[in-house]
Every structure is written in structure tokens, then in C-alpha cells.
């Protein structure tokens, strides 16, 4: 891994990042941090960081790009990849790949769709993925953490157990989703054990640099940082495709329209994005819009694809 500090001489990506940070810094109105747990509500909405990683591990960054934040739903991409690598297409019998058009924590579709969530990136779908990964590994959150440490080259990444405990204390909705799917036979593990895994998964703290690097396997068509294969080329395409269509919940159409890249957001204010074959990005700013996506994060990715012409379209 080659770390390029924000101040070092300027490959094209570094100059682009600095222009974006400048533009974002002059834009008022950054949304509001998630308010449902104190650890997220306390974040400063003026924080902003962005990193770009090339497939060889060279990484560029600007602003708070080395500052760890709560990854939350961004982790859903990695658990999806880890489970897909193990069980292949059988996963898709338990979770769909269509946009839900509903908020990420919605219950409404589950009953008339027989406990099969629309996609792996709404909470219900992520719970199914974590449940299946838990069955296959005995420690879904531990597998995720080991993967993130290895791909980012940062062994200090860890869970934030205070955040996980806080999520548990406010976890009635996720518990309802998991119990409801269990009633349809679509959850294998005891619900409290599954929720423990899921909340630890969401609590991982990592920086933009860490996440841009850890997402690299999706730009490398399934190859990990060490050159071994996690996903087939076709599976990497599947993950990128579901990120594009479902990664920003009921705003996925708007995100594709503005940014034109596979992306995945979390309520901690992080968003990862992929330019297959070219680079991966992570942007962080904790102020969210009403659908749970980072306001400055989406704006920065919009600027990136506009300035560079790098999109999948
Ligand atoms: O499941 C939850 O409520 C959170 N721990 C994760 C939510 C999340 O990040 C959804 N994102 N936009």
C-alpha cells in the first residue's frame, strides 16, 4: 500500500480531491447527523473527508480522510461479498436484488413478499446476509473485521462496543424485522445472537482511507489486495450492480442520476463508491438528508464524476 498525504505532489486524483473539498467547504447546509443514538448525534456535521484508492493500493485523500467514523450500513457490502463468496447463488433464494423504494428500516414489504427481503442493503436483507454468514463462519462480525483489517492494511480497525450497545438499546425495529423473517423460516440463528452480530458489524470504526482500500476488490473484479480471489468476476459485477440499484435506499435512483456509480451509504455519514477497473472512493460527512444519505458525501461524489468523467455510464 502506498499512502499519498494530502499535501504531497499532485497526481490527477489529488488535485481533483482538493477542488472538491474546496467546493464542499463553500457550500452551506450539510444535513443533520443521525439522531437515534448519542454517539452518532454527537458528530460534527462540518467534518468532511474523502479518499480515492487505485487498484494497486495507492490512496489519495483530503480533509478528514484519516479520521475513523462509524461505518454502519457501509459494512453491508462486505458481509454480502463474504457470504456470496461462500455460498454463491443459493444466497439469492433468501434475499432479492430489486430496489425496495422504501426506507432502509421498513417492514411493510416483508409480509406480502413472504419474509424474503427485496435486497441485501435494506436492514431486513442485511440481517439475512449476516445470519447466513454467521451460520457459515460462527462469527460473522469477526469475519468482517478480519477482512477489513486485511484489505485496508490497518490492523487497528475495531468494533465500537459502546455504539453496538447503544444500537441494541434502540434495536426494536431490527429485532422486529429479524423475528418476522424468522417466522417465515428465513433466519437460522436465534434472533438475539443475530442482532448481536449485526450491531457489532455496524459499529466498526474505519476511515475514508481504510474503506476506499477495503472496497478495492470491487474495482479489481473480485480480487483481494493480495491477489487472491474473493469473488468471481460475475459475482463482483452482481455486488456492484446491487450497489447501483439499491445502495442508497429509496434515493438510489437519484444517486445513480447524480453520481452514476455503484455506491453504498451508512447513517454514520460514510459512502463508498466504485469505478470498476479504475478506482474506489470513500467520502464521509455526518450530516444526512431525510433518506439517511450524507448530504456533502453525495455532493462530493457528484462533483467527482462530473470533474473526472469517471462513471459507469
Ligand atoms: O440498522 C441500523 O439501524 C443501523 N445500525 C445501520 C443503519 C444504516 O446505516 C442504514 N443507513 N443508511
Is the beta carbon of 269 within 6 A of some atom in ligand 1?
no
Nearest 5 degrees, angle CA 110-CA 168-CA 292? 60
Q: Does residue 100 contact residue 106 with C-beta atoms inside 8 Å?
A: yes
Residue 221 lies in a domain: yes
Which ligand 1 atom minimizes the distance to the CA of 202? 5
Is the beta carbon of 267 within 6 A of some atom in ligand 1?
yes
Count of domains forming the chain? 1
Is the beta carbon of 286 within 6 A of some atom in ligand 1?
no
Residue 313 lies in a domain: no
State the average pLDDT for the chain: 94
7 labelled catalytic: no
Percent of the chain with pLDDT over 70: 96
> What pLDDT score was predicted for residue 104?
79
Which ligand 1 atom minimizes the distance to the CA of 74? 9
ipTM of the complex: 0.92
The best mutation among 43, 75, 76, 105 to test binding of ligand 1, ranked by most ligand atoms within 8 Å of the C-beta, falls on 105
Q: pLDDT digits over 154-170, tens only?
A: 999 999 999 999 999 99
Residue 210 lies in a domain: yes
Residue 217 lies in a domain: yes
> What pLDDT score was predicted for residue 196?
98
The CATH number for 250's domain is 3.40.710.10
Q: Does residue 102 contact residue 109 with C-beta atoms inside 8 Å?
A: yes
Please tell me whether 174 is known to bind a ligand: yes
Is the beta carbon of 72 within 6 A of some atom in ligand 1?
yes
Is the beta carbon of 70 within 6 A of some atom in ligand 1?
no
Q: Return the SS3 of 184.
A: coil
283 labelled catalytic: no
249 labelled catalytic: yes
Residue 133 lies in a domain: yes
Percent of the chain with pLDDT over 90: 89
Q: Please name every residue paired with 60 in a beta bridge, in sequence order, or none if there are none.
A: 52
Q: Which of 267, 274, 283, 298 is catalytic?
A: 267
Residue 270 lies in a domain: yes
Of all protein residues, the one whose alpha carbon is nearest to atom 4 of ligand 1 is 72
267 labelled catalytic: yes
Q: Quickly state the pLDDT bin for 30 (edges 50, 70, 90).
A: confident
Q: pLDDT digits over 6-26, tens only?
A: 444 334 999 999 999 999 999
- Whether the predicted model's global pTM rises above the 0.80 cut: yes
Q: Does residue 115 contact residue 181 with C-beta atoms inside 8 Å?
A: yes
Q: pLDDT digits over 258-288, tens only?
A: 999 999 999 999 999 999 999 999 999 999 9
237 labelled catalytic: no
Which helix (H) or strand (E) element contains residue 70? strand 69-70
Domain that holds residue 300: 2-308
Amino acid at each position: 500500500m502506498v499512502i499519498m498525504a494530502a499535501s504531497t505532489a499532485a497526481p490527477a486524483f489529488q488535485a481533483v480531491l482538493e477542488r472538491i473539498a474546496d467546493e464542499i467547504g463553500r457550500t452551506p447546509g450539510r444535513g443533520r447527523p443521525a439522531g437515534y443514538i448519542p454517539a452518532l448525534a454527537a458528530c460534527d456535521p462540518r467534518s468532511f473527508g474523502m479518499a480515492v484508492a487505485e487498484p494497486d493500493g495507492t490512496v489519495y485523500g483530503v480533509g478528514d480522510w484519516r479520521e475513523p467514523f462509524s461505518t454502519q450500513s457501509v459494512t453491508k457490502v462486505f458481509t454480502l461479498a463474504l457470504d456470496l463468496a461462500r455460498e454463491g447463488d443459493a444466497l439469492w433464494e433468501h434475499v432479492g436484488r430489486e430496489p425496495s423504494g422504501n426506507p432502509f428500516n421498513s417492514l411493510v414489504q416483508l409480509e406480502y413478499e413472504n419474509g424474503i427481503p427485496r435486497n441485501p442493503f435494506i436492514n431486513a436483507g442485511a440481517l439475512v446476509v449476516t445470519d447466513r454468514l454467521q451460520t457459515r463462519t460462527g462469527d460473522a462480525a469477526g469475519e468482517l473485521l478480519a477482512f477489513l483489517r486485511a484489505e485496508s492494511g490497518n490492523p487497528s480497525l475495531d468494533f465500537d462496543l459502546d455504539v453496538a450497545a447503544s444500537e441494541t438499546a434502540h434495536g426494536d425495529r431490527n429485532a422486529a424485522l429479524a423475528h418476522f423473517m424468522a417466522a417465515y423460516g428465513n433466519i437460522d440463528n436465534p434472533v438475539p445472537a443475530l442482532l448481536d452480530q449485526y450491531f457489532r458489524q455496524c459499529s466498526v470504526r474505519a476511515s475514508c482511507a481504510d474503506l476506499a482500500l477495503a472496497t478495492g476488490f470491487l474495482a479489481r473484479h473480485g480480487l483481494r489486495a493480495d491477489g487472491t480471489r474473493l469473488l468471481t468476476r460475475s459475482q463482483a459485477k452482481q455486488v456492484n450492480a446491487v450497489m447501483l440499484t439499491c445502495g442508497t435506499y429509496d434515493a438510489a435512483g437519484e444517486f445513480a442520476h447524480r453520481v452514476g456509480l455503484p455506491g453504498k451509504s451508512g447513517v454514520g455519514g460514510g459512502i463508498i463508491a466504485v469505478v470498476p477497473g479504475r478506482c474506489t472512493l470513500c467520502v464521509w460527512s455526518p450530516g444526512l438528508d431525510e433518506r439517511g444519505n450524507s448530504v456533502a458525501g453525495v455532493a462530493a461524489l457528484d462533483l467527482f464524476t462530473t470533474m473526472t468523467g469517471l462513471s459507469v455510464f
